[in-house]
Amino acid sequence: MRRILLQCAAISGLLLAALGLACSNAPGARTLAPAKTTAAAPSSDHARQKARQGSGAARQEEPSQAFDKPLAARLTDTAKTLAGMPVDNKSQFAAIEKAPAWLAHARFMKAGWERLEKDHLARIRLWSRAQLSTLGHSAVLYPFSGPDFLFANAFFPDGKDYLLIGLEPVGGVPDLRSLSGQNLQRELKWVDESLCGLLQISFFRTNDMKVGMAEEGVLPILLVFLARTDNAVLRVEDVGLDGQLVSPALPARAGAGTHRPKGVLITFLPKGETIPRRLYYFSVDLSDFSLKDKKEFTRFLKRFPEPTTYLKAASYLMYREKYSRIRSLVLSRSAALLQDDSGIPLKEFEPSRWNLRFYGSYDRPIALFKDRFQPELFAAYRKGGEAPLDFGVGYKHRVGEANLLLALAKPAREIQAPACPAARELMARGVYAQAAQAFQKEIQGGPAAYSIRIAVSCLPSSIAGALNAAEGHREFMLVPGRLDGQPCFQALWGLFPTRADALAALDELPGTFSMKDAPAVIRLEGKGPAA
């Protein structure tokens, strides 16, 4: 055990040093130089059940009896063994628990888990019951999560579908029964090393995940968390980025490289319940450059209407424009969002769309992210009224330092493209100048502030081509425009209350528009300064 703890101390990494920490149980722990790491929802059970039944990703709820019992027993006992938890004496895994490597692993896990439970998880669950219990969080979306099912479940224990997204590969289910001696010790030691940072500071360090999980994948860690939260694992299935199954029920340990599927679906059953739940994990780069070629993935996420989104220790990535697509998807789709200050900047939450609640305290980011200080958030906390937190979470892991923002989406008003039958008749007859003026007048009198510009042209033939490509969709409109100083026409698609809504709709443009003329979100003329 001493050898494992020394290794844990060595890898507790540069961020632990930057935070002034070391693995506290590690003899001779050494400190290393810092390294950069990279909506009102339904409030009643009846309303929540109705929301689930109306989900675009309709849940095929199978009773637990419908699953392969021997397979489920093997998966559950694999999860317990990895988690350092005892299995039944009759289990095929019982012999492993006599091995010195597993006994050392179990002691390490017990000590670390008791500390994590006392300092973080138990307090979070109490806070969640008091502050979040009225949210109908049937689907929980967690971008930049890595394998952190644990905190998503602590904040949102009633989630029916959990959607985790990270860079780390999926990996496979290890066959622990085939391991002995040094091979078993190596597998369990890797689990200890991977969890050391989280057990100490409540989040995974990016550099640790790049090293260990790049080879082994996240699946073993997900199984640990499911076991430690009293869940039986019923089934593990590979899925593609569209959420569709691509392989048999039990992925083999075949390495975690790029040849492995990009997603996994774990069906699990909480203790004392009869209806299984689902945990998805996808290995996806969420930058704009990557997402623009993964429309099947964004379409899959949109099958879960109005999710509750959670963001923690997200490296402030969504402060950068290169992550604008995932930021816009979160802001336009979420019914509620819970985050620390590393998630989405406060200035992106438009007051017309969000009700905001502040918890804890905000001073400044940790030194590694000192350039991500938010004056707006600092001022919001200085106004008073924020509620205290008795736990730390994310980069601010100490009590009294953490901050959480709970954003609740206001009821959205349906904003349609203007009917404007006179303008549409003029457009159909090719009288584009008068049609554009009629649309412009109608739009200026309405509540929408944004649209998607799909083309600017002075040629009637080009406008006729765009109109033909629209195939009668009422979202298509013309308004006056200018090109090289000449009066022309702008072809627009849809009307939206916020820029985030318009950005999210870019992925839903008909194929004839989405690949030509670089569609762009614009603020409509006469709607005030750009947001």
The DSSP secondary structure of 245-275, one letter per residue, reads B-S-SS-----SSTTS-SEEEEEEEETT-SS
Task: Report pLDDT digits (tens) over 442-492.
Answer: 888 788 888 999 888 888 888 888 888 777 778 889 999 888 888 899 999
Which of 11-20, 108-117, 452-461 comes out lowest in average pLDDT? 11-20
Q: Is the pLDDT at 258 greater than 70, yes or no?
A: no
Are 396 and 425 found together in one domain? Answer: no
Which of 212-221, 328-337, 483-492 comes out lowest in average pLDDT? 212-221
What's the rounded mean pLDDT across residues 33-39?
29
Q: Is the pLDDT at 436 greater than 80, yes or no?
A: yes
Are 385 and 475 found together in one domain? Answer: no
Domain of residue 468: give its range. 421-523
Inside any domain, residue 15: no
Are 463 and 510 found together in one domain? Answer: yes
Of the chain, the percentage scoring pLDDT greater than 90 comes to 45
Q: Is the pLDDT at 11 greater than 50, yes or no?
A: no
Inside any domain, residue 33: no
Are 84 and 196 found together in one domain? Answer: yes
Are 325 and 352 found together in one domain? Answer: yes
Q: Is the pLDDT at 515 greater than 60, yes or no?
A: no
Domain end (from 339, 374, 409):
409
Are 380 and 434 found together in one domain? Answer: no
Number of domains in the chain: 2
What's the rounded mean pLDDT across residues 346-360?
92
Angular region, 382: left φ>0, alpha ψ -120 to 50, beta rest? alpha
Secondary structure (DSSP) of 393-448: BTTB-STTT-EEEEEEEPPPPP-PPP--HHHHHHHHTT-HHHHHHHHHHHHHTSS-
What string of H, E and C letters represents the secondary structure of 21-64? CCCCCCCCCCCCCCCCCCCCCCCCHHHHHHHHHCCCCCCCCCCH
Are 402 and 287 found together in one domain? Answer: yes
pLDDT band at 41 (very low <50, low <70, confident <90, very high): very low
Which pLDDT value is given to residue 16?
39
Task: Report pLDDT digits (tens) over 87-100.
Answer: 999 999 999 999 99
Q: Is the pLDDT at 415 greater than 90, yes or no?
A: no
Under DSSP, is residue 351 helix (H, G, I), strand (E, B) or coil?
A: coil
Mean pLDDT computed over every residue of the chain: 80
Which of 139-143, 173-177, 317-321, 375-379 comes out lowest in average pLDDT? 173-177
Inside any domain, residue 466: yes
Inside any domain, residue 414: no
Are 386 and 474 found together in one domain? Answer: no
Which of 22-36, 51-65, 165-179, 494-508 comes out lowest in average pLDDT? 22-36
Inside any domain, residue 504: yes
Q: Which residue has the higher pLDDT, 517 or 209?
A: 517
Which pLDDT value is given to residue 205?
54
Q: Is the pLDDT at 408 greater than 70, yes or no?
A: yes
Residue with tokens 């640990």: 224
Are 168 and 141 found together in one domain? Answer: yes
Are 86 and 149 found together in one domain? Answer: yes
Are 273 and 125 found together in one domain? Answer: yes
Domain end (from 375, 409, 443):
409
Inside any domain, residue 302: yes
Are 350 and 435 found together in one domain? Answer: no
Alpha helix (H) ranges present in 229-355? 288-291, 295-301, 324-333
Which pLDDT value is given to residue 96?
92
Inside any domain, residue 76: yes
What's the rounded mean pLDDT across residues 357-381?
94
Inside any domain, residue 27: no
pTM beyond 0.85? no
Q: Is the pLDDT at 80 greater than 80, yes or no?
A: yes
Which pLDDT value is given to residue 312?
93
Domain end (from 409, 434, 464):
409
| Domain CATH code at residue 441 | 3.30.70
Q: Is the pLDDT at 156 greater than 90, yes or no?
A: yes
Of the chain, the percentage scoring pLDDT greater than 70 comes to 78
